[in-house]
Amino acid sequence: MAINKVIYGGNTLIDLTGDTVTPDKMLAGHTAHDKSGAVIEGTCTFDVDSTDATVTKAEMLDGKTAYARGSQVVGTMKNNGAVSANISSKDEVFTIPIGYHDGSGTVAIDDTEKAKLIAGNIKQGVSILGVIGSCEPSSEVTAQSKTITPSTSKQTVLPDDGVDYLSQVIVNPIAYVESANSAGGTTVTIAG
């Protein structure tokens, strides 16, 4: 027999008759008394109000589930695990793939290129990626300056045999002369 109201000495000590609790509104595993005084056990698995949740399926790993705004959300984010790459040229750019990364991936300079970053390969006083150069110009290196005059055919300007490089190439101007002619016009003479 369930008791839903207790009166003692004219005072109401307990009155369950107006209670509205039902098993579906009470968390599973919890007990209470309904308005008749009978013991009831909760059946509701609801454990949070998710109406203000902001998660989207693209922000959750593929196949993982959660509840937000009253609905189940199934993740679509790709799990990339450990993403690693090597950079082998100065202009190379590594594009980080969209998705989750487990934090153990690395991006590094390719070992072949890293081996070239030694002080002897870098001009003295120049720092490249923390390696300060020690290479001094050789006194045996020779430079040459050349002067050329344009022509109507292609010219390739190279240093003479025994010279390492051209320090400069001077191109002379094309001779250009204007003079009045007997027909009342101007004669232009271009010499190459």
Alpha-carbon distance of 70 to 53, in angstroms, equals: 9
Token duo for residue 40? 């009831």
Confidence of residue 192 (pLDDT cuts 50, 70, 90): low
Q: Does the structure show a pLDDT above 80 at 46?
A: no
pLDDT, mean of residues 106-132 = 93
What confidence score (pLDDT) does residue 139 get?
73
44-53, 97-106, 158-167, 170-179: least confidently modelled range: 44-53
pLDDT, mean of residues 92-98 = 93
Confidence of residue 176 (pLDDT cuts 50, 70, 90): confident
- Three-state SS annotation for the chain: CCCCEEEECCEEEEECCCCCCCHHHCECCCEEECCCCCEEECCECCCCCCCCCCCCHHHCECCCEEEECCEEEECCECECCCCCEEECCCCCCCCCCCCECCCCCCEEECHHHHCCCCHHHCECCCEECCEECCECCCCCCCEEEEEECCCCCCCCCCCCCCCCEEEEEEECCCEEEEEECCCCCEEEEEEC
How much is the mean pLDDT over the chain? 90
Q: Does the structure show a pLDDT above 60 at 69?
A: yes
What confidence score (pLDDT) does residue 31 get?
95
pLDDT, mean of residues 130-149 = 88
What does pTM read for this prediction?
Answer: 0.43
pLDDT, mean of residues 59-80 = 92
